[in-house]
């Protein structure tokens, strides 16, 4: 089923992501090594924590040229998880304004949760907005596990695959070509998370 490279820039949940992927994929590494990124068929960027800290560590620790070659030129399927999804944006507004990777147009802003407390923590419904192989076989509104306070505001609605409601509706799954991002944690979402990862690994 291909070989997976999970990027590790020092964000906490890499081990849980690895544990889930290893129930499905055979060849799987946690690595930032250019050679591993070149050889991988699928690339995963996990993440917890603040946008600016994540971006700083990504620039410090990941071989950006090799990664951009793999994702933007070779079009390898890429999955960003939680903050790993948020950094795909043009900019993030947590603790000031910071540049993101800019792979999908938009900005990351605080969820307007109204009277609900932030962070948004727990199982919530994800409503699919358009058909996608990533969400195939999950039904119309699968539950996923969320932990976050900020969300991705897209410039182009075409990139929105699913939304979730918490005080307001926010984008919980994004896609532009081979680049996918999920605001929730598939590695904590049991059956639905496993199914989503299986779908991701069958992309080519």
Partner 1 sequence: MKKKRLIPVLLLRNGWLVQSKQFRRYQNLGNPTSAVKRLSEWASDELIYLDISRDDSYDMRRDDLGHPNRHSIFEIIEDVSKVAFMPITVGGRIRTLQEIEKRLSLGADKVALNTVAIEAPQFVETAAKEFGSQCIVISIDVKRQDETLLVMGRGGKQPTAYAPEDWAKTVEQLGAGEILLNSIDRDGMKNGYDLELLNRVTGAIKIPVIACGGVGEWAHFAEALEQTDVDAVAAANIFHYSDQSVFLAKKYLFDRGLNVRRPDLLEI
Catalytic site positions: 82, 185, 187
- Tokens 């590494």 sit at which residue? 29
> Smallest gap, in angstroms, from Cβ of residue 32 to partner 1?
18
Please, which of residues 67-126 interact with partner 1 by CB under 8 A? Answer: 116-117, 119-125
Nearer to partner 1, 77 or 142 (CB): 142
> Smallest gap, in angstroms, from Cβ of residue 198 to partner 1?
10
CA 6 to chain centroid: 12
Query: Does 127 interact with partner 1 (rule: CB under 8 A)?
Result: no
134, 144 contact by CB (below 8 A): no
Among positive and negative, which fits the CA dihedral 109, 7, 43, 18? negative
What percentage of the chain's residues is helix, strand, coil (to nearest 5)? 30, 30, 40
> Smallest gap, in angstroms, from Cβ of residue 128 to partner 1?
16
Query: Does 27 interact with partner 1 (rule: CB under 8 A)?
Result: no
> Smallest gap, in angstroms, from Cβ of residue 118 to partner 1?
9
Q: Is 29 helix (H, G, I), strand (E, B) or coil?
A: strand
Please, which of residues 33-62 interact with partner 1 by CB under 8 A? Answer: 49
Query: Does 187 interact with partner 1 (rule: CB under 8 A)?
Result: yes
Query: Site for partner 1 (CB under 8 A): which residue of 6, 20, 104, 135?
Result: 20
Closest by Cα among 18, 79, 81, 83 to 202:
79
173, 136 contact by CB (below 8 A): no
Query: Site for partner 1 (CB under 8 A): which residue of 1, 10, 15, 35?
Result: 15
CA 134 to chain centroid: 12
Query: Does 193 interact with partner 1 (rule: CB under 8 A)?
Result: yes
Query: Site for partner 1 (CB under 8 A): which residue of 59, 75, 130, 191?
Result: 191
CA 77 to chain centroid: 12
> Smallest gap, in angstroms, from Cβ of residue 28 to partner 1?
14
Please, which of residues 152-181 interact with partner 1 by CB under 8 A? Answer: 165-166
Rounded-to-integer distance, Cα 132 and Cα 5, Å = 22
Q: Tell me 178's DSSP state.
A: T
Residues forming the site for partner 1 (CB under 8 A): 12, 15-16, 19-20, 23, 49, 116-117, 119-125, 143, 145, 147, 165-166, 187-191, 193-194
């Amino acid at each position: 089923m291909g070989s997976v490279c999970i990027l590790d820039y020092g964000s906490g949940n890499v081990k849980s992501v690895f544990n889930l992927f290893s129930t499905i994929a055979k060849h799987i590494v946690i690595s930032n090594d250019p050679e591993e990124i070149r050889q991988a068929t699928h690339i995963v960027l996990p993440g917890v924590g603040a946008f600016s800290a994540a971006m700083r560590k990504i620039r410090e620790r990941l071989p950006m040229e090799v990664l951009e070659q793999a994702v933007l030129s070779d079009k390898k399927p890429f999955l960003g998880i939680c903050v790993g999804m948020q950094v795909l944006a043009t900019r993030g507004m947590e603790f000031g304004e910071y540049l993101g990777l800019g792979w999908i147009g938009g900005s990351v802003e605080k969820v307007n949760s109204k009277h609900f407390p932030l962070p948004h923590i727990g199982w919530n419904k994800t409503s699919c907005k358009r058909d996608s192989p990533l969400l195939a076989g999950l039904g119309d509104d699968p539950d996923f596990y969320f932990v976050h306070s900020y969300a991705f505001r897209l410039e182009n609605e075409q990139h929105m695959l699913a939304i979730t409601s918490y005080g307001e509706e926010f984008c919980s799954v994004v896609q532009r070509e081979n680049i996918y991002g999920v605001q929730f944690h598939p590695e904590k979402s049991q059956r639905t998370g496993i199914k989503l990862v299986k779908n991701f690994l069958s992309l080519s």
